[in-house]
Amino acid sequence: MTALQARVRGVHQRLATAAAQAGRDPKDLTLIAVSKTQPAEAVATLAALGQRDFGENYLQEALDKQAALSALALQWHFIGALQSNKTRPVSEHFSWVHTIDRAKLAERLSAQRPKALGPLAVCVQVKLDPEPGKAGVAPDALAPLLDTIERLPGLRLAGLMTLPAPREGFEAQRASLARLTALAKALPETARVLSMGMSDDLEAAVAAGATHLRLGTALFGPRQPAGASP
Ligand SMILES: *Cc1c(COP(=O)(O)O)cnc(C)c1O
């Protein structure tokens, strides 16, 4: 078994155990492999093991990988910070965007979505903790943004996403993430995706109700240093 295979197996076991402990069906959990800074070969290897959903943060890096891997039927999720002058390639080349936090981004992504691809699935990023400089909409500003998205023909509102301030320990992590689960109750039945949980808090995320786990280092190992060529 390669190191990558061992890590993949370990992640699947962690997810299965977490689901069992939370009394949840593991089939309700979608694993998004976060492949930022990882080379296309690592994505291809993971795809050969059955992984289909991949998450990327950096647009140009993602487009290069998508071009290199276009023969594979992969589903790409944009999970990075998005500038409004970069929405077109995201709308044209991704199936999902998890980081919508303002109406302008939503409006541009909708207008630029090619009709043939069907609506772009989007999650609204919620900022649960008051961290300066952090992306995300404050909980009290969520409702008008959801209303805007629901009116946009090029988008399909899928649910909510968060990237909370790091916390130590299962219970503190679970309680933190459960705030997103509570907010999601106000969304329609068709928009109940909860994109939360990373390598360090996946058990807490499953316990809190996550549906889409975004895991990088647990699957791929340590990331390449920023700026290193893939
Ligand atoms: C990098 C990243 C992840 C994955 O983090 P790991 O700790 O490597 O699992 C998940 N979500 C977002 C938004 C990220 O930027």
Residue 230 pLDDT > 70: no
Ligand 1 midpoint to CA 55 (Å): 9
Domains identified in the chain and CATH numbers: 3-218 (3.20.20.10)
Ligand 1 midpoint to CA 183 (Å): 22
Residue 113 pLDDT > 60: yes
Q: Is the CB of 217 under 6 A from ligand 1?
A: yes
Ligand 1 midpoint to CA 116 (Å): 30
Strand partners, 77: 55, 96
State the pLDDT at residue 228.
Answer: 54
Task: Tell me what the mean pLDDT of segment 92-112 comes to.
Answer: 98
pLDDT (tens digit, 9 = 90+) per residue, 4-31?
Answer: 999 999 999 999 999 999 999 999 999 9
User: Which positions ≥6 away from 13 have C-beta within 8 Å?
Assistant: none
pLDDT (tens digit, 9 = 90+) per residue, 21-60?
Answer: 999 999 999 999 999 999 999 999 999 999 999 999 999 9
How deeply is 150 buried, as exposed, middle or buried, from its count of CB atoms within 10 A (0-12, 13-18, 19+)? middle
